[in-house]
Amino acid sequence: MNYIEMTQDGHIGTITLDNPKKLNALSHDLVNQLIAALQALEQAAARVVILRARPGVKVWSAGHDVGELPEGGRDPLGWDDPLRHLVRTIETCRMPVIAMIEGGVWGGAVEAVLACDIVIAAPGATFAVTPARLGVPYNVSGMMTFMSAASLRVVKELAFTATPISAARAERIGMINHVVADAELEAFSREMATTIANNAPLSIAVMKEQLRVLAGAKPVSPRGFEKVQGLRRIVYDSHDYHEGIRAFKEKRKPVYLGR
Ligand code: LCV
């Protein structure tokens, strides 16, 4: 089953999320296909990639596939989780990735979008950071992705409220690059991709990697990292984490007890 579509037109690649039944949830299978497509386009000397969903979607991606989250006792966002692989692939692939957004972006999909190099959204797009909604202890590098995209105060608001914010607000605070009317979204994104593709790919690739290395160069002591990992384990071993996942699957509101 194909959950994405990949096309290439000269130096411009396009990857379209295409699993409407699961609202493009970032399942293991969809993410593996998405990673393979990015790697194939890199091999095929694409100089820029547009990452999008089908035109007119209400949900760009519903985020991590909740059905694939462990129900306790294991880090839900460990190194080998598909979402972690996806974010690292987007960040380390040579060519810039432009996220072209229509509809709602949820949870880990917001991180994947913010890991892209440029974000262009339709006016109706929204972005919701949802760990607090599900009781999930988000992971360290994921929080770094958010911190690279918005001020600490905004990241706290997004993370603690788990409430969707509008494309207009996201642009106003510099979290995304442009909000473009639906009718112009594709042409605008394509024009930016063409501009990038006509510039020097080696120079762009090295600047992308420099910015990745510099943005991630935050000193975290081994003790600080281990403390955070210990705190995260308490959360993913907690009643509330288990309750968040169960409530989602049983389609009911979770009842969090703070333990
Ligand atoms: C599996 C789904 C999902 C889904 N997984 O349609 O960031 S973290 O830490 O939270 C991280 C762990 C993460 O990313 O977690 C996932 C975060 N995502 C969300 O919280 C969004 C959850 N989904 C929704 O709130 C709604 O589905 C939205 C608002 C996106 C769309 O609502 P709508 O009424 O249009 P349904 O809710 O009816 O969803 C259609 C089908 O897709 C499944 C959902 O269970 C339903 O399945 P059934 O048809 O079997 O009932 N689905 C939706 N999101 N993330 N499955």
Question: To the nearest whole number, what is the mean pLDDT of the chain?
Answer: 96
Contact 215, 148 (CB under 8 A): yes
Do the domain assignments include residue 203?
no
pLDDT at residue 121, rounded to an integer = 98
214 inside domain: no
Q: Does 67 participate in catalysis according to the annotation?
A: no
User: How far is residue 189 CA from its own chain's centroid?
Assistant: 18
- Within-domain flag for 205: no
Higher per-residue pLDDT: 219 or 203: 203
Confidence bin at 217 (pLDDT 50/70/90): confident
| pLDDT over 90 percentage in the chain | 94
Determine whether the shortest distance from the Cβ of 66 to ligand 1 is under 6 A. Answer: yes
- Rounded to the nearest 10 degrees, how much is the dihedral formed by the CA atoms of 169, 173, 178, 179? 10
Cβ–Cβ contacts within 10 Å for residue 160, how many? Answer: 11
**Residue 237 forms part of a structural domain:** no
The answer, yes or no, to whether any atom of ligand 1 lies below 6 A from the CB of 57, is: no
Domain-located, residue 243 = no
> How many domains, in total, are found in the chain?
1
- For residue 212, the CA-to-ligand 1 centroid distance in Å is 30
* pLDDT tens-digit map of 53-103: 999 999 999 999 999 999 878 999 999 999 999 999 999 999 999 999 999
Q: Tokens at residue 127, please?
A: 């972005």
Nearest CA to ligand 1 atom 43: 22
In CATH, what number is assigned to the domain containing residue 121? Answer: 3.90.226.10
pLDDT of 22 higher than 90:
yes
**Is the CB of 134 inside a 6 Å radius of any atom of ligand 1?**
yes
Q: Which amino acid is at 209?
A: E
Of 3, 11, 13, 64, which one is the catalytic site residue?
64
Give the range of the structural domain holding residue 177, as residue numbers without chain letter. Answer: 4-182
- If we measure between CA atoms, which residue out of 113, 115, 110, 93 comes closest to residue 41? 93
**103, 107, 138, 244: the active-site residue:** 138
Q: Does residue 104 have its Cβ closer than 6 Å to ligand 1?
A: yes
Q: Report yes or no on 241 lying in a domain.
A: no
